[in-house]
Structures are given as C-alpha cells and as structure tokens.
C-alpha cells in the first residue's frame, strides 16, 4: 500500500497565491461589470431625457402615430446571436446578421390592430433576407388580420425579391422605387456535389449506409448530381409550395392565379417589352400601385397620418420601442394567469448543451423539463423549426415530451418552416401536431456516412499497416480501407435506427410500421401533403397550436397567457440591448463593433457547413446514426 501523498510547502504556497489571484481577478471583473451597468443606465437615462418629445424612437406613442416595421435582417423563431451582437447590429441600422423574431413582429402587429393611436402600419422591405415559407405565411396572416380591422398597410421597397414581395403584397398600397424592381423567380433547390472531388481527385473513399431511396441528405458525397428519386420527391413538395405562393399573391392583389404565374414564366418577353424597366413592368402588371421615391412616400404618409415634430417626415414608432411600450402597459410580473409554455427547437439537433437558437439534446430537454416542473404551466407547445441532426439527442428530447404528457400536461407541436427527419422525431409524440401547409416535414429516415482515406494517403507515399487481435480492432481507423465486416455492423445499426423511427411514429400516430414505411423512406412532404398522409393533425400556425394546447388543458378563453421558456439575458446584456435601440446612444454601441462576429463569404460558409457536420464529436462512438434533412430552399 502506498503512503498518502504530501505537498511541498513551496508548492502549497504557490497554489494559495494562484487561488488569491483568481479570486482577485473575479472580484475586479465583477466590479468593472457593475460599474459599466451603472454607467450605461445613466447614459440611457440621459439619452431618453434628451430625446423626449423629438419624435425619436423613445417618444411616447400619441395619436396618428404610424407603426413602422423595418424588416432588414433574417426572420427567425429565436435569436441565434447573443445580445451584444444584436445590439451592435441594431445600432448600425441592421446588417446581414440582424435577426427579427417572428413572435415580436406578430405581437406588435396584433397590439397595433387594437391601438387607437396607430392608424396604419408601414412595411419597409429592403434588406429582408432569410425567411422560410411557413414563417412568411404566418407573418402574412398577421398583416391580413391587421388590414381586416379597417386599418391600412403601406409597403415600400426599392428591390423586392419574392419573399419581400410576399409581405408587401399584403398591404393596401404597395409602392416601389422608380428605379426598383419586383423579381419573382419561382422555387429552386440546388446543392453542391463532392463525389468527383473527394473520391477521384483526393482519393477519399465514401461509404453511405441508409434506409430509403428518398433519404438524399448524404447523396452529394457519393454522387455528382441528384438522384432521380431525390428530384422526384423535391419537385412534388416544391410545386405544392409554389402553387400556394402564387395563390396567396393572387388573392392579396386581386389577380387571377394564372396572371401571376404568367408574369414569371413570360418574364423575358415582358421585360423586353418595357425596354428593361423592371419598375414599370411591376406597375403595368399591377404588382405595385405606384412608383414613388422615399421622399414622396414620406410626404404621403405625413398627409395620411401626421407630420413629425420637425415637419420633415411622418409621426412614427419602430418595432422595438413600440413593443417596450406595449409591454409596459401589460400585466407583466403581476399577471397571475395560467401559462401555456412555448419551447423553441430551432436549428440542427446536436448532442449536449447548445446555445440559444439551436437545439441541444440536453439544453432543449432542460427547457422542456423546466416547463413541466413549473406549477403555473398547464400545457406545452414545442415550436419546431429544425431539419434534424443526430439521433441520440433527438431521442432525448422525445423522451422529455413523453414524460411531460405522462405528467398530465398536454403537448402540442407547432411546426415552422422545417420539421423534418430529427425535427419530426422530436415532434411525433405530441398530443397534436400543427403545421403550416408550406412547412417542410417528413424525411423519416436514417443514414450513416463513413469516409476512409488510404488512397489519399498513398498519393503522398503514406501507408497504414499493423496487426490486431480481432477483425473489428482498428476497423474504424479512417487511414485503412473499410472492412466489409465493419460495413455490415454500420448497416445493421442504421437498419435498427430506421425500424425504431417508423415504429415510434406508428405507435405515436396510431398506425403500424408498414403504413409509416410507405410514406417514410426519407421522403419529404409539404405540411399539406403530410396532413393528407396522417403525419400532421391540423394545419395552422403557432397561435392555433397554443389555443389547442390551452383547450386540451381545459383552460378558459382569455384565462391563460403564452410564456416562452428560454435562457434569460443577464442584466448587463439587457441594458446594452436597450441602449442600442436609442438613436442617440447607438453610436456608443457601435464602438463594440470589433467584438461582433464577422460573417464569412456565402459560398465558403456553405461548403464549410456541409462538411463540418460530418465531424465526429470528441469521445463519440465511431458508429453514429443521423436523422438529418438538407431540405431547405
């Protein structure tokens, strides 16, 4: 038996000094942060006082104030950027990384509908970037509801793509810059294919293990072009989304669907007929109501409402200041109504704890558990906008959903833009599943991908050799050719995972595996098509799903509130974010610009993303089933 170890006195002294230094550093850091908070609060107070009565974003909403929704940025279910990054983006007037939460826009539009001080709403579409079709339709529904109240919507843009135009079309009047354009193209889905580069050029051997001819997520690593099955499935659901888009536009602009469709298909001839003047084309085809400069639009809005205090624009309030004032008028912390909790599952599904705006097996499960254990929460809505990811974290989340149901709390899933593959896995056990007709869902399938590089190494004169006690020892070494025995093991794991997937779906949906297999095999469906095949219970958005959750929990109308369960911001983050929304203080936030994350080029980021997800997490098993769908547009 060895004797107890002892520590040299000098080493103990050094350890004590180290602990003191750590304590001192922490103390200084906390004091500096506290000082910064007090400083920022004081500066914000000064800025608000200076801005009072000058028509700035902090001005109180008064009679004839227009709600202006500047849509620059990406439409998301939940912020993926941290508060400091958002503050920097907002202080700079929005950039390509700016994010707009769908819930914020819908809430502001709903509040303005019944606000007598808000006579109309103004949409500014320039800079509106990424948005899925389900989110577009949900936002469009909120705009139509506002318009149905008798209040007007004005939309303005200089260069409208088809997503920007979808929202603009919901307005009573659509204005386009005289040198602008409306460009409706249709839907396309193209991916990069790596087989020749990986296998022929680099000598990397790629082995794909899957179940289902439609499970095409990993095809780009073994093919040089999309498979016929992949093209067939994609065209089926894409045509459904496209026809719905045309129908929504035609309805909003009171045009025949055939007319809108012809504008797109005959675009070259129609552009030539107006000598390349795309703005005039949009006016001729009744896509817009008038061609106006920004100054002309401001003048019109001032006459429709009221001029601002300076007399050079119209009386207005932006999204965030209006939400802040609407929140101040609400019940806030004193609201004692029962809660329908909403947990957002947005992004790819990964192991462990992941930051807000993404899905982690542990972190998302923790949020669901938090909602389940809250006695004030009577029902749960899982808002899913995810193409899937790893199977194990998907199963972790599904188990938490099952436990929540067992605890007597109804669970309703609201599918957003995408709820496919692993996104469907985490949804299937809900009491009810809602989807927008244009949600991308299904893709029930599993695959595994293995890459080995002995040929690549041989190109530079490097070879692998040795001995092992069993056939499997070293079989998953990527420097060696994949042994067929190891391949059989992987395929068996994939087969088992697929059988589990369709078995769990069958049990959750009251069906049998054979029937689920017929509509699974990795095939993607639109929400409407999934509803026809029994994968979805009803068509609707988050509002309908929340109301259904309240009904299942036997809550009386107007006796419940929606409560998002997510990681809260720190006091410092909240103050800096609030400061960035003050026009006088935004310059100070811009000084933090170098701290913001710099975006890479689109193509480089795309390739990096498609290859990065192939990496195996440290310590993970070499055999990992994946339920992922590259099914975005």
Extended strands (E) in 280-376 = 290-291, 316-318, 338-346, 349-350, 359-360
pLDDT attached to residue 130:
84
Average pLDDT in the 230-256 region? 97
Of 56, 216, 365, 421, catalytic: 421
Percent of the chain with pLDDT over 70: 77
The pLDDT confidence band at residue 610, using thresholds 50, 70 and 90, is: low
Model confidence at 333: pLDDT above 70: no
Model confidence at 49: pLDDT above 50: no
* Residue with the two structure tokens 């939309």: 155
What's the CATH architecture for 336-456+474-592+621-628? Alpha-Beta Complex (3.90)
Three-state secondary structure call for residue 286:
coil
Model confidence at 221: pLDDT above 70: yes
Return the closest-CA partner of residue 484 out of 450, 453, 507. Answer: 450
pLDDT attached to residue 607:
59
CA distances from 323 to 85, 105, 253, 417 (A): 20, 9, 29, 25
Query: Dihedral through CA 452, CA 458, CA 460, CA 463, nearest 10?
Result: 90
Give dist(CA 8, CA 275) in Å, integer: 88
Give dist(CA 577, CA 571) in Å, integer: 10
Extended strands (E) in 3-112 = 66-70, 74-76, 99-101
The 10s digit of each residue's pLDDT in 267-299 is 999 999 999 999 999 999 999 999 999 999 999
The 10s digit of each residue's pLDDT in 551-595 is 999 999 889 999 999 987 665 555 555 555 554 444 443 444 443
Model confidence at 230: pLDDT above 80: yes
Give dist(CA 616, CA 607) in Å, integer: 17
Tokens of 353: 């704890």
pLDDT attached to residue 469:
94
Residues forming a β-bridge with 308: none
CA distances from 137 to 126, 240, 323 (A): 18, 14, 22
* Residue with the two structure tokens 């084309």: 281
pLDDT attached to residue 595:
35
The 10s digit of each residue's pLDDT in 6-43 is 445 554 555 565 566 666 666 655 565 556 555 554 54
Residues forming a β-bridge with 207: 450
pLDDT attached to residue 51:
40
Give dist(CA 555, CA 84) in Å, integer: 38
Residues forming a β-bridge with 74: 99
pLDDT attached to residue 183:
96
Model confidence at 603: pLDDT above 60: no
The pLDDT confidence band at residue 94, using thresholds 50, 70 and 90, is: very low
* Residue with the two structure tokens 């699974």: 520
Of 163, 215, 292, 339, catalytic: 215
Contacting residues for 190 by C-beta, under 8 A, at least 6 apart? none
Mean pLDDT score of the chain = 85
For 209, phi and psi rounded to 5 degrees?
-120, 125
- The CATH number given to 66-188+236-328 is 3.90.226.10
The 10s digit of each residue's pLDDT in 120-173 is 999 999 999 888 999 999 999 999 999 999 999 999 999 999 999 999 999 999
Give dist(CA 97, CA 358) in Å, integer: 16
Query: Would residue 378 show up in a list of annotated catalytic residues for this protein?
Result: no
DSSP secondary structure of 58-71? TSPP-TTPEEEEE-
In terms of C-beta distances under 8 Å and separation of at least 24 residues, what long-range contacts does 160-163 make, across chains too? 160/125, 161/185, 162/245, 163/128, 163/131, 163/136
Going by the DSSP 8-state scheme, the letter that residue 196 receives in this structure is I
Query: Would residue 215 show up in a list of annotated catalytic residues for this protein?
Result: yes
The pLDDT confidence band at residue 80, using thresholds 50, 70 and 90, is: confident
Task: Tell me the pTM.
Answer: 0.83
The torsion region of residue 176 among left (phi > 0), alpha (psi -120 to 50) and beta comes to beta
Asked whether this chain's domains 66-188+236-328 and 336-456+474-592+621-628 adopt the same fold, the reply is: yes
What is the residue extent of each domain of the chain? 66-188+236-328, 336-456+474-592+621-628
The pLDDT confidence band at residue 529, using thresholds 50, 70 and 90, is: very high
Q: What angle do CA 12, 17, 21 make, to 5 degrees?
A: 150
Three-state secondary structure call for residue 55:
coil
Percent of the chain with pLDDT over 90: 69
Average pLDDT in the 324-351 region? 83
Quickly count helices (H) and strands (E) in the chain. Answer: 23, 22
For 419, phi and psi rounded to 5 degrees?
-145, 70
Buried b (16+ CB within 10 A) or exposed e, 170-197: bbebbbbbeebbbebeeeeeeeebbbee
Give dist(CA 210, CA 464) in Å, integer: 28
Contacting residues for 437 by C-beta, under 8 A, at least 6 apart? 137, 240, 244, 526, 527, 528, 531, 539
The 10s digit of each residue's pLDDT in 379-437 is 999 999 999 999 999 999 999 999 999 999 999 999 999 999 999 999 999 999 999 99
For 566, phi and psi rounded to 5 degrees?
-160, 170
pLDDT attached to residue 311:
77
The 10s digit of each residue's pLDDT in 457-481 is 999 999 999 999 998 898 989 999 9
pLDDT attached to residue 31:
60
For 377, phi and psi rounded to 5 degrees?
-85, 120
């Amino acid at each position: 038996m060895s004797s107890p170890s002892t520590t040299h006195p000098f080493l103990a002294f050094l350890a004590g000094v180290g602990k003191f230094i750590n304590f001192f550093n922490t103390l200084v850091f906390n004091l500096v942060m506290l000082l910064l908070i007090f400083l920022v609060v004081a500066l914000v107070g000064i800025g608000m006082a200076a801005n009072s009565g000058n028509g700035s974003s902090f001005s109180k909403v008064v009679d004839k104030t227009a709600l202006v929704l500047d849509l620059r940025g990406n439409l998301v279910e939940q912020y993926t950027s941290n508060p400091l990054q958002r503050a920097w983006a907002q202080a700079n007037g929005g950039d390509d990384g700016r994010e707009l939460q769908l819930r914020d826009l819908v809430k502001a539009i709903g509040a303005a509908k019944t606000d007598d001080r808000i006579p109309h709403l103004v949409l500014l579409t320039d800079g509106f970037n990424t948005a899925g079709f389900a989110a577009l339709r949900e936002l469009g529904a909120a705009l139509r509801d506002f318009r149905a109240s008798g209040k007007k919507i004005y939309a303005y843009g200089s260069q409208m793509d088809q997503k920007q135009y979808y929202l603009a079309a919901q307005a009573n009047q659509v204005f386009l810059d005289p040198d602008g354009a409306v460009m409706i193209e249709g839907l396309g889905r193209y991916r990069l294919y790596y087989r020749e580069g990986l296998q022929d050029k680099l000598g990397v051997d790629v082995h794909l293990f899957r179940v289902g001819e439609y499970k095409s997520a990993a095809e780009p690593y073994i093919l040089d072009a999309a498979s016929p099955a992949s093209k067939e499935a994609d065209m089926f659901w894409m045509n459904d989304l496209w026809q719905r888009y045309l129908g929504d536009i035609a309805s909003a602009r009171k045009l025949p669907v055939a007319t809108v469709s012809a504008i797109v298909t005959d675009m070259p001839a129609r552009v030539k007929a107006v000598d390349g003047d795309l703005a005039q084309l949009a006016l001729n085809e009744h896509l817009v109501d008038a061609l106006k400069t920004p100054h002309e639009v401001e003048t019109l809005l001032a006459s429709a409402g009221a001029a601002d205090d300076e007399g050079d624009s119209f009386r207005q309030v932006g999204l965030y200041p209006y939400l802040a004032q609407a929140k101040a008028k609400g019940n806030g912390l004193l609201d004692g109504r029962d809660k329908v909790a909403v947990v957002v599952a947005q992004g790819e599904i990964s192991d462990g704890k992941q930051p807000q705006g993404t899905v982690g097996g542990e972190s998302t499960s923790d949020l669901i558990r938090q909602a389940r254990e809250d006695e004030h929460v009577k029902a749960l809505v899982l808002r899913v906008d995810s193409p899937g990811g790893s199977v194990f974290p998907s199963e972790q989340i599904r188990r938490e959903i099952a436990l929540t149901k067992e605890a007597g709390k109804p669970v309703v899933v609201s599918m957003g833009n995408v709820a496919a593959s692993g996104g469907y896995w985490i949804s299937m056990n809900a009491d009810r599943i809602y989807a927008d007709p244009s949600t991308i869902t299904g893709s029930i399938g599993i695959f595994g991908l293995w890459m080995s590089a002995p040929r690549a190494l041989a190109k530079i004169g490097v070879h692998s050799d040795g001995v092992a006690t069993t056939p499997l020892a070293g079989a998953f070494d990527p420097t060696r050719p994949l042994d067929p025995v190891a391949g059989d093991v992987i395929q068996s794991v994939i087969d088992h995972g697929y059988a589990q997937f369709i078995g769990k779906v069958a049990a959750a949906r009251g069906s049998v595996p054979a029937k689920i297999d017929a509509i699974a095999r990795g095939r993607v469906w639109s929400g409407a098509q999934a509803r026809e095949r029994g994968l979805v219970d009803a068509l609707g958005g988050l509002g309908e799903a929340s109301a259904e959750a309240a009904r299942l929990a036997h809550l009386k109308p107007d006796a419940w509130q929606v409560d998002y369960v997510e990681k809260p911001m720190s006091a410092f983050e909240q103050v800096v974010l609030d400061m960035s929304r003050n026009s006088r203080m935004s310059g100070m936030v811009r000084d933090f610009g170098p701290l913001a994350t710099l975006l890479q080029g689109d193509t480089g980021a795309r390739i990096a993303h498609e290859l990065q997800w192939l990496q195996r997490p440290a310590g993970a098993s070499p055999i990992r089933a994946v339920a992922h769908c590259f099914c975005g547009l």
